[in-house]
Amino acid sequence: MEKIYFQDLGLMEYGAAWDYQESLLQQNLKVKSAKFNSDGTNHAITDEQTIHHLLFCEHPHVYTLGKSGHMENLLVNDARLKELNVSFYKTNRGGDITYHGAGQIVGYPILDLEKFETDLGKYMRNLEEVIIRTIAHYGIEGGRLPGATGVWLDAESANARKICAMGVRCSRWVTMHGFALNVNTDMRYFDYIVPCGLTNMGVTSIAKELGRTVDEQEVKNILRHEFGIVFNAVVVDTPLVENIA
Catalytic (active-site) positions: 196
Asked whether 34 and 174 are in contact (CB, 8 A), the reply is: no
Q: Which amino acid is at 45?
A: I
Task: Round to whole Å and give the CA distance between 131 and 138.
Answer: 11
Could you tell me the maximum CA-CA distance found in the chain, to the nearest angstrom? 58
How crowded is residue 236: how many other Cβ atoms within 10 Å of its Cβ?
12
Paired sense of beta strands 202-203 and 161-171, if any? parallel
Alpha-carbon distances of 151 from 28, 57, 185, rounded to whole Å = 29, 19, 16
CB 100 within 8 A of CB 185: no
Single out the residue of 12, 56, 89 nearest to residue 181, CA to CA. Answer: 56
Beta strands 62-65 and 97-100 are antiparallel
Find out whether 162 and 152 touch, Cβ atoms under 8 Å. Answer: yes
Q: Which residues contact 62 (CB under 8 A, 6 or more apart)?
A: 14, 86, 87, 88, 89, 99, 100, 101
